[in-house]
């Protein structure tokens, strides 16, 4: 496998496209910056990651319920949440080649931490570098760069009739985080389900950010999916809940094949406008050259409910019948990008190993995440009796497992293709199968093969694919 991050990333991007996981959006028109489409296998992998999250966050719990709120929300939502006033990044431009850069990322290259620092601080640090001649455009090397200015990450759209669609009153924003909808439906959720504090609301959906620089494949995109859970609680419970959720989220990564040395916690010193405590789960990306954020676990206090209460006039307080106390719940959130997890699992699973002098590329994904669980092959395409038997097996297994029928090329070539998309098991129907009612089952990771009775296949895979 390639040693440096750029080469690893190139291999991942190439495999993702060649094998139908991820395509650059609108490619026939020259593409659209930092927007991607997911192909057949990508969609399946994404759905499996999503299901794995939902299972642990909602299905296995009796204190978390689900939600699917709209992408468009009343514009006042983002005024109240503070996003319209302070959801931005510091931008600098190259006057020569017009490249745009994030000033905090540029400063980071020189060991200056500028995360969420005010513009005055950032510009003073940039000036110091400018004076030494070290501040250069990352694209063309020019020293002619603008001072940093604030660049809003909010993506604007408009709703309304075509004639007045461009007027200011019609401006609505595409949500920059999915949790906005959770706060707006917090009261309806309490009124319509029988949840009592502490309880969580989980949702998965699209979010949009006008990222200044988005060059790391699907790590940072302008349209992405978030999986968020807001846990509403009495403020006295915050520390306990925070620790519990940090542990649960950490264990989730281990459960799906990420090693304990692959991830670490990073505690934020400078906090987003809504947070009072924030930890990130960081994963050691081979394709990005080190630890990068995949998930945030944040204590948000009562910032959101108090602001929405103030701006809407709605009473969002909670009455605890046991203690007869009325108060505004505090919130602890877990927030993770689905595309970022997708890249993490690809990065972890991508393996190149020696196979009798040949390089074997294989995605060693957890069985539950693998897009295709079982591939079924007739040994030869031009033998109708083998094809019919293989189709029969496919038709039976597909009811319970995502399967693929493949009769293209020789079996070795079919194995290589299934290895590259991470299929845990391949079943081959050969001439003997017609005599003894058995097929060859080949294991992706060990490449060992065993003969299994066709009649036992379903039970066999139920046990293996759990």
Question: Which residues form the interface with ligand GAP (CB under 6 A)?
Answer: 177, 179, 209, 211, 220-221, 224, 226, 228, 293-296, 333, 335-337, 339-340
The minimum distance between CB 248 and ligand GAP, in angstroms, equals: 16
Name which of 335 and 423 has its Cβ closer to ligand GAP. Answer: 335
Name which of 219 and 377 has its Cβ closer to ligand GAP. Answer: 219
Name which of 273 and 413 has its Cβ closer to ligand GAP. Answer: 273
The minimum distance between CB 343 and ligand GAP, in angstroms, equals: 9
The minimum distance between CB 246 and ligand GAP, in angstroms, equals: 14
Name which of 333 and 366 has its Cβ closer to ligand GAP. Answer: 333
The minimum distance between CB 120 and ligand GAP, in angstroms, equals: 23
Name which of 177 and 406 has its Cβ closer to ligand GAP. Answer: 177
Question: Which residue's beta carbon is nearest to the bound ligand GAP?
Answer: 337
Name which of 33 and 118 has its Cβ closer to ligand GAP. Answer: 33
The minimum distance between CB 85 and ligand GAP, in angstroms, equals: 16
The minimum distance between CB 249 and ligand GAP, in angstroms, equals: 11
Name which of 176 and 424 has its Cβ closer to ligand GAP. Answer: 176
Write out the chain in H/E/C secondary structure. CCCCHHHHHHHHHHHHHHCCCEEECCHHHCCCCCCEEECHHHHHHHHHHHHHHHHHHHHCCCCEEEECCCCECCCHHHHHCCHHHHCEEEEEEECCCCCEEEHHHHHHHCCCCCCCCCHHHHHHHHHHHHHHCCCCCCCCCCCCECCCEEEECCEEEECCCHHHCCCHHHEEEECCCCHHHHHHCHHHHHHHCCCCCCEEEEEEEEEECCCCCCCCCCCCCCEEEEEEEEEEECHHHHHHHHHHHHHHHHHHHHHCCCCCCCEEEEECCCCCCCCCEEEEEEEEECCCCEEEEEEEEEEEECHHHHHHHHHHCCCCCEEECCCCEEECCEEEEEEEEHHHHHHHHHHHHEEEEEECCEEEEEECCCCCCCCCCEEEEECCCCCHHHHHHHHHHHHHHCCCCCEEECCCCCHHHHHHHHHHHCCCEEEEECHHHHHHCEEEEEECCCCCEEEEEHHHHHHHHHHHCC
The minimum distance between CB 173 and ligand GAP, in angstroms, equals: 14
Name which of 333 and 419 has its Cβ closer to ligand GAP. Answer: 333
The minimum distance between CB 16 and ligand GAP, in angstroms, equals: 15
């Amino acid at each position: 496998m390639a040693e440096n991050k750029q080469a690893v990333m190139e291999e991942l991007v190439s495999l993702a496209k060649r094998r139908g996981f991820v395509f650059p959006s609108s490619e026939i028109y020259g593409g659209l910056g930092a927007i991607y489409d997911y192909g057949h296998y990508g969609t399946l992998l994404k759905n499996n990651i999503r299901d794995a999250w939902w299972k642990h966050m909602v299905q296995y719990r009796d204190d978390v319920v689900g939600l699917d709120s709209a992408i468009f929300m009343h514009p006042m939502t983002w005024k109240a949440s503070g996003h319209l006033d302070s959801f931005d990044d510091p931008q600098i431009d190259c006057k020569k080649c017009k490249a745009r850069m994030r000033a905090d990322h540029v400063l980071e290259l020189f060991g200056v931490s500028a995360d969420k620092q005010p513009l005055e601080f950032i510009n003073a640090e940039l000036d110091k570098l400018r004076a030494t001649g070290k501040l250069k455009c990352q694209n063309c090397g020019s020293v002619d760069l603008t001072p940093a200015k604030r660049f809003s990450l909010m993506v604007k759209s408009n709703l309304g009739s075509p004639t007045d669609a461009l007027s200011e009153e019609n401006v609505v924003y595409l949500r920059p985080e999915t949790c906005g909808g959770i706060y707006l439906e917090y009261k309806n959720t309490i009124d319509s389900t029988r949840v009592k504090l502490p309880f969580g609301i989980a949702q998965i959906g699209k979010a949009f950010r006008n990222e200044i620089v988005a060059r790391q494949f699907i790590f940072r995109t302008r349209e992405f999916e978030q999986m968020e859970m807001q846990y509403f609680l009495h403020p006295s419970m915050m520390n306990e809940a925070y620790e519990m959720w940090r542990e649960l989220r950490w264990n989730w990564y281990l459960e799906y094949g990420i090693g304990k040395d692959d991830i670490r916690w990073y505690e934020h010193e400078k906090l987003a406008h809504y947070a009072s405590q924030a930890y990130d789960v960081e994963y050691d990306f081979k394709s990005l050259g080190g630890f990068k954020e995949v998930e945030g676990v944040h204590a948000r206090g009562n910032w959101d409910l108090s602001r929405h209460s103030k701006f809407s006039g709605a009473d969002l307080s909670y009455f605890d019948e046991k203690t007869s106390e009325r108060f505004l719940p505090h919130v602890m959130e877990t927030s993770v990008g689905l595309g970022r997890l997708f890249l993490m699992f690809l990065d972890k699973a991508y393996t190149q190993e020696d196979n009798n002098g040949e390089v074997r590329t294989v995605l060693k994904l957890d069985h539950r995440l693998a897009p295709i669980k079982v591939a079924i092959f007739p040994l030869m395409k031009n033998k109708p009796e083998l094809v019919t038997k293989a189709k029969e097996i496919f038709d039976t297994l597909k009811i319970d497992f995502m399967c693929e029928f493949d009769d293209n090329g020789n079996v070795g070539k079919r194995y290589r293709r299934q290895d590259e998309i991470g299929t845990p098991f391949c079943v081959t129907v050969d001439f003997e199968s017609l005599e003894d009612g058995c097929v060859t089952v080949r294991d992706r990771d060990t490449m060992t093969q065993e003969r299994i009775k066709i009649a036992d296949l379903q039970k066999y895979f139920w046990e293996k694919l759990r």
